[in-house]
Amino acid sequence: MAEYLIVPAGGDYYSVTSPEGRTYSVNLAAETCDCADYLYRGQERPCKHVEMVKRLLERGVIAHRLTKKAAA
Ligand SMILES: [Zn+2]
């Protein structure tokens, strides 16, 4: 089974690395991604990377870290 690596990248951004070693930048709030699939079909539906981040967050696998006022 393919394994993806998902890492919080600050703010609403998550870095998703595919089993092939390609890294995509997902903005969870805007539900955008910089992969080719999103570029072609993102207006119709989020790509699998956005879905993946959302699913993991729902299951509490990764924390949604807020950077706003982090120094306060
Ligand atoms: Zn994507």
* 38 alpha carbon – ligand 1 mean position (Å): 5
* 22 alpha carbon – ligand 1 mean position (Å): 11
pLDDT, averaged per 10 consecutive residues of the chain (72 residues), comes to: 84 93 95 93 86 88 56 42
The predicted structure's pLDDT at residue 65: 56
* 71 alpha carbon – ligand 1 mean position (Å): 31
Neighbours of ion ligand 1 (CB under 5 A): 24, 33, 35, 38, 47, 49
* pTM for this model (two decimals): 0.78
Please check whether residue 4 is in contact with residue 12, taking contact to mean a CB–CB distance below 8 angstroms.
no
The predicted structure's pLDDT at residue 58: 85
d(CA 44, CA 51): 13
The predicted structure's pLDDT at residue 71: 42
The predicted structure's pLDDT at residue 25: 97
